[in-house]
Amino acid sequence: MRLGILASVALGCLLTVGHAFAQDKYPSKPIRLIVSFAVGGPTDIVARVMGAKMSELLGQQVVVDNRPGAGGNLGADVVAKSAPDGYTLLMATVSTHAINPGLYKKMPYDPVKDFEPVGQVGITPAILAVHKSLPVKDAKELAALIKANPGKYSYGSSGMGSILHLCGESFKMMTGGLDLEHVPYRGSGPMMNDLSAGQIPMAFDGTPTMLPQIQAGTIRALATGTATRARALPDLPTMQEQGFKGFECYTWNAIFAPAKTPKPIVDQLNAAMTTALNDKAVFGRLQDVGIDPTPGATPAQLADFVKAELAKWAPIIKASGAEID
C-alpha cells in the first residue's frame, strides 16, 4: 500500500517534470475508466459504449474497470486518490456525486473538491407507475387515493437511499406527507418483479425497466420525473405538468477525472465525449438503455450541475431519515 503511494508520488513527479512533452502526446497509454458498479448494469453499459467510441477518437484504448462496492463509493474513491494525469477516469452517477455525500455517515472523498468535471453523458428520467389494479390515471389521483386510505399503501425502491427511494420521498413531501410506507429491495429487478405482480402498488424507476411492463399492460405509467417529457414516452405528462411544482427526479451519468487534472487534458476528453455523443450509433445505444444523451455539456456546466444536484437532494435525504453506516 505504502509502496503504491510512493510509486504514484514518484510517477506524479515524473509527469510534472515531463509536463511539456507529455501534454502534446496525451494519451500515450491506455486510459482506465472506472465503473463503481457491477458488470452488466446500466452504468457499466454506458461506460462500455462510451469507452469503445472514445478509444477510437483518442487513439488509445479506454479500458473499463469495474470496482463495485459501498454504493459506488469504492470505485469513486479509487479515482479521487489517483494521479491527476488523465489516465484514470470515473463514470460517475447520481449516487457517487449527489446522493452518497448526504447519505453516508463517513464519506471517503469529497464529490466537488476531489474531482475535475469532464463532461456529462446524459440523464435517465424516472417514471412513476402503479400496478394495473389501481384505479388511478394520474399522479394527482394517486395522491388522493393514498390520502383517502391511510395505512394501506406502500412504494418500492431499489434500496435504502437509492434515487428511487428519494423520488418516493419527494413525492410524499410534495403531497404534504402522505402515509406511504417505503419498501426497499436489493436492486430494481426484484422490485419490478413485485410491482408487476401487484405485491406492491407503486414505484418510481427508469425507463429501461419500466417500458416492457408498461407495454405489456401489467403496470400503468402516471408521470415522468423530469422537467421535460422522456424521449421514450413522449405522450406521458411530466410531474410538473400535473402540478407538482419543482418535482425533478432522474439519474445521470458523467465522466470525472481526479482534481487538478490539467485543463488541456480535460478539454481534450470533453471534446472526445461530445464527438462520441453526437455519433448516431452511440446516441442510439444510449437511448436503448433509457438515457437521454446530453452532448456538448462543458466541464463548467457539469460542475454547476453537480452542485445543484447536491443541494437538491441533501434536504430530502435528511427529511427521509435515510442513513447508511
- Residue 190: all three cell numbers together: 426484484
Of 249, 218, 208, 228, nearest to 294 by C-alpha is 228
Distance, CA of 216 to CA of 212 (rounded, Å): 6
**Residue 24 beta carbon to other proteins: minimum distance, rounded to whole angstroms:** 31
**Residue 185 beta carbon to other proteins: minimum distance, rounded to whole angstroms:** 8
- Other beta carbons less than 10 A from residue 265's beta carbon: 20
**Residue 63 beta carbon to other proteins: minimum distance, rounded to whole angstroms:** 11
Give 104 or 175: the residue with its C-beta nearer to other proteins. Answer: 104
Q: Provide the greatest CA pair distance for the chain.
A: 70
**Residue 40 beta carbon to other proteins: minimum distance, rounded to whole angstroms:** 4
Give 109 or 252: the residue with its C-beta nearer to other proteins. Answer: 109
The stretches of 60-162 forming alpha helices (DSSP H) are: 73-80, 94, 100-103, 139-148
**Residue 191 beta carbon to other proteins: minimum distance, rounded to whole angstroms:** 10
Give 294 or 320: the residue with its C-beta nearer to other proteins. Answer: 320
Give 191 or 297: the residue with its C-beta nearer to other proteins. Answer: 191
Give 194 or 267: the residue with its C-beta nearer to other proteins. Answer: 194
Q: Which residue spans within the chain are E strands per DSSP?
A: 31-35, 62-66, 88-93, 115-131, 154-157, 181-184, 202-206, 219-224, 250-258, 292-293
Asked if the peptide bond before residue 111 counts as cis, ω within 30 degrees of 0, the response is: no
- Residue 47: all three cell numbers together: 461506460
Question: Are the beta carbons of 54 and 273 closer than 8 angstroms?
Answer: yes
Distance between alpha carbon 217 and the CA centroid of its chain, in Å? 27
**Residue 147 beta carbon to other proteins: minimum distance, rounded to whole angstroms:** 16
**Residue 210 beta carbon to other proteins: minimum distance, rounded to whole angstroms:** 10
**Residue 14 beta carbon to other proteins: minimum distance, rounded to whole angstroms:** 26
Of 224, 216, 239, nearest to 290 by C-alpha is 224
- Residue 289: all three cell numbers together: 438503455
Give 48 or 220: the residue with its C-beta nearer to other proteins. Answer: 48
Strand partners, 64: 33
Give 46 or 302: the residue with its C-beta nearer to other proteins. Answer: 46
Distance between alpha carbon 191 and the CA centroid of its chain, in Å? 18
Give 208 or 295: the residue with its C-beta nearer to other proteins. Answer: 208
**Residue 21 beta carbon to other proteins: minimum distance, rounded to whole angstroms:** 32
Give 151 or 177: the residue with its C-beta nearer to other proteins. Answer: 151
Distance, CA of 325 to CA of 323 (rounded, Å): 7
Enumerate binding residues for other proteins (CB under 8 A). Answer: 38-41, 44-45, 48, 52, 65-71, 73-74, 77, 103, 106, 108, 151-152, 154, 159-161, 181, 183-186, 189-190, 192-194, 196-197, 199-200, 208, 211-213, 215-216, 218, 285, 288-289, 322-325
Residue identified by cell 405482480 is: 197
Distance, CA of 311 to CA of 288 (rounded, Å): 30
